[in-house]
Amino acid sequence: MASEIKFGTDGWRGVIAWDFTFENVRRMAQALADYINENAPGEEGSKAPKIFVGYDRRFMSDLFAADIASIFRANKIDVTLSASPISSPVAACLSLSKCWMSIMVTASHNPANYNGIKIKLAGGSAPARVTKEVEELLDQNSVLLLYGQKADKKDVTDVYLKYVASHINAKKLKTFKGKVVMDYMYGAAAGYLEKFLPEKQVIALRAEHDPTFGGEQPEPVEKNLTELKKTVVAKKAALGVAFDGDGDRVALIDEKGTYLTPCVIAAVLCDYFIKHKKLDGKIVQTVSMGYLLKRIAHKHEMLFEEVGVGFKNVAERMNLDDVAFGVEESGGFAWKGNLPDRDGLTVALAFLDIMAQTGKKASELCAEVAEEYGASVYMRRDLPLAKPVDKGVMAEKMRKKLPKKINGQRIAETLTFDGLKIIFENDEWLLLRPSGTEPLLRVYAETATKKGTQALLDFGEKLMAPYVK
């Protein structure tokens, strides 16, 4: 019996040689081919829409991608295969400008023994309705793989780099004279920042190709960025930047070696764009984000909406509504006029541009946001999941166990559409949910102090104890 294939928060992922096998990838490729042939625009006799297949630096990603492209060709699909490893934003950009759909072989920030597949449509992650249809097409037709049906290969990175260059103030960026420490985490976006800043200003870490990611998980969260923080301080750099394995997530370190949370980065970017770029529309964030954007939206009389975790949910809103700014907690940011998808390079360049425009240090920009909208200490704690759980059932069970007050604070509201989010009367909050990409339970919290945030995380961990391994 064939193993089950399911899309998670952003794509289908599995352990290489266990879940992510050539057999399963070929099954997925045929389902994608069937979806493309059933749904791609075009009338009979007209030119078929173009499809792009890309891959990152992970173990055997190039071979998996070649198989997918070959199956597409056998199904009479006009497909182009990347000639080299690329970041996911490159694939997203191609789906916006050159192709109807892009398929990206990557497991993003997952450990090295994982690989996966992402679908990009209209410049962003495919919405749940698309991935559900692809799942339903699995095994409906036999895999059509004709050996010798190799796809044309093309280097497409320049298309993306030109797109990024057209959306930044390159002239002003040239006035930025500080050093930037760039931690590529051995990922596919290595070398991208040097296309926009002189090489003498960029101190690159972990830029070489290593499919084991140096034995660490290529996720730009604080615990994985010790060397980056040390290097920023030692080299007296103006900013530290880290990308994840496929270059769509980003983390920033200020000149003091302080990790900037996604909540703070989002607030700096969004507030600046509203005040200086006249950005307008709705602000959308995932339920795992904090209260700063909510306060910014309120002050500027903008609509505000929370959606489920996963940037695909933000991207879907950006394609349907007039969204000014969208963000998720895992280092994914987007705003009107750019790709409706995560793009680490664009975020890093935008932050550097703000520093150049204002002449202020990263820490000063963050301090200004805190003074205007309040302090934010945001943390996440990951716990090993004992066994798969139904997210909705788990959230409802935990909600019923809640006291009226937690750590002396009265609960103002609870949300259960993606885990259990507990919001207090002062906007501080706690979120409990199973990960959609890894066998983990995640506990998130945000308060105005480190002590308060850790106390909420402790409470959440105790509440999640029955589900922890």
Q: How many Å from the N-terminal Cα to the C-terminal Cα in the chain?
A: 29
Sheet with 409-415, side-by-side order of all strands: 377-384, 440-447, 429-434, 420-424, 409-415, 405-406
Q: How far apart are CA 97 and CA 41, in angstroms?
A: 15
CA contacts within 13 A on the Cβ side of 103:
32
| Residues in contact with 4: Cβ distance below 8 Å, sequence separation at least 6, in sequence order | none
Strands (E), 270-355: 282-286, 304-307, 323-328, 332-335
- pLDDT tens-digit map of 156-191: 999 999 999 999 988 889 889 999 999 999 999 999
- Give me the chain's average pLDDT, please: 94
Q: Band the pLDDT of 8: cuts 50, 70, 90.
A: confident
Sign of CA dihedral 144, 146, 147, 151: negative
- pLDDT tens-digit map of 351-376: 999 999 999 999 999 999 999 999 99
- pLDDT tens-digit map of 321-335: 999 999 998 888 999
- Mean pLDDT for 205-213 is 97
CA nearest neighbour of 109 among 259, 225, 228: 225
Considering just the CA atoms, what is the radius of gyration of the chain in Å? 22
Judge whether residue 148 has pLDDT over 90.
Answer: no
Collapsing DSSP to helix, strand or coil, 424 comes out as strand
pTM for this prediction: 0.93
Report helix, strand and coil shares of the chain as percent, to nearest 5: 35, 25, 40
Q: How far apart are CA 189 and CA 194, in angstroms?
A: 11
Judge whether residue 261 has pLDDT over 80.
Answer: yes
Q: Band the pLDDT of 46: cuts 50, 70, 90.
A: low
Q: Count Cβ atoms within 10 A of the Cβ of residue 341 and give its class: 0-12 exposed, 13-18 middle, 19 or more buried.
A: buried
Scan for tokens 């987007």, then name that residue.
334
437: its two tokens: 């990409």
